[in-house]
A and B are shown apart, each in its own frame.
Chain A
């Protein structure tokens, strides 16, 4: 999947686990885990929510790269 992210790093900075991050964003722990592993590309709404929680921009956390 060509969407990469630094969500795990930002979560570590906040000092919360996946369940707590999920609860802050109103999603399940599994969703956070799937995003971090790159197995799921979040919707724009969720990406904006996560960026707001991490006090960063969406581009800081997510970036797109074509598959080589």
Chain B
């Protein structure tokens, strides 16, 4: 009965708040109230606290204030008889617990034990949040499971983890049962842990559970345009859009109940494998709040049903587990049975259209040795040729689909794939080969996945795999000819050369009012979708998130304003945006959801602009960190002087062309500069900005404030000095 849960949760909350007060007191005694306190590399402070209250916890003294508020939230423990309503108080106690746990975990970063230690990862940085957050936004990952405690044995832990992985659900692990945690059970079985495999061990302490909720809170701030302090919107955003749940594994003590109560505020239900009381009526969560006594083999399916989630997992007929969650798994050298390419042998992959008569659907052939024919530790050449035929297939789509080969092959457990075209590198693990994985299964994967992903445009798919050097070299020669033509075509693909752009509303699951306009020279601001991707996506799903936008009459070539685009944006923005210019960040710039890779902002006194990428955690010359600026730029509002863009767009010919283009760039973090250096150099040469232009762009090493940037541009004689005033 719920009262038992309420009583446990409230008692657990008292204990947790008390514990936080104790560690805080000790920490203050040691370091003083002014001691800095933070989670590493984040602009969201202690994120649950920040998102709910707007309080920017920076010093230990800030924690005192938070804990005082947490204490006020603690309700009396329900009486045995004539009790007062306890649901509201229990939920409040859950929040008090989460705030206290953030304080506890943050203090660990000062006084230890260090949250990131051994298999444990502690708080996720903003870089991880962006990388992984996008997967939640575009649906690659439908949600996360906060696994608290440990399974009855390590084999069960592996089975549950694999099942969650196969359904693409992130596995966040914290807490322990009888001194053992699920993450330790997985490690014991040799399972690869980490963000790449979606098996994330936050910490063994129960208080590490708060990292999972902090991740959710940041998703709301980062992608949902929720303002810090707007607790109701943050929690409802999570209820409606972040499909997470708690798996309570093993005995549930008071502190675990308290965490469950905290999670229920977010709309995340708890599913337990032990016989604890249940809370079945819905309202705070979409369906049941607590469901218990679920056998291990049913717990994942039950959790998904309780959370109201629909996941369709396609079966690919291969002898190893398969799914996007396995994409990040590496195969280490000592675990490798056979490898291909990676400069150790000739290798290439190549997808191209062919006539209907040339393609026999489902035919998979291996020319050359199979794995059985070679010894462990061997190397083989590899040529993967995918022949496709479809009435709606276009040559333009070939590179789009070819790029998917990397992902599809990586989805198989124990198979590693890197690179594309003739730079590929593939490894099969001993484990995979032992399970019966053959080279021909690469074909099985590609045939199945190509059909399921592009069925609308591909009618027939045939795969030829070569493992003898002659065939591979021949294929390489043929393919390279085609690659050159493709590259040439891509280069000539400009905004002027097409009459249709594409909209992208893929992220409307997270940012309901934003729409991207993707043109050949301006990819989506998340960096993940370019014009060709959108075009193919429209062919695959004509009513999907990518719709053609006819440019129509050009109204202003310099600013990039077209009648058709304006009409589309006006409609798609619910009549809020009347005009949109593609090439300006000052006159009606494009709006942003929250997924942008980079923010560009004017530094008025320098007459130039700065660009900062999400991964950069430090202060920028604008006086704001990325996260603060993101709050201004996101949410589907035009903010003149600020735009959210993809990294690649900085190197585009159309980058703020109307405002002066690349020559305006006066500051960017060094990490960003290095990442896009090659393309930047190419473009600055093309624009005649000189070979040393890149050196004239200040980084955090040269300037941290706007004044310092101004001094820098004057010192290096940056071209911006000669330009007309930007505003």
A and B: partners? no
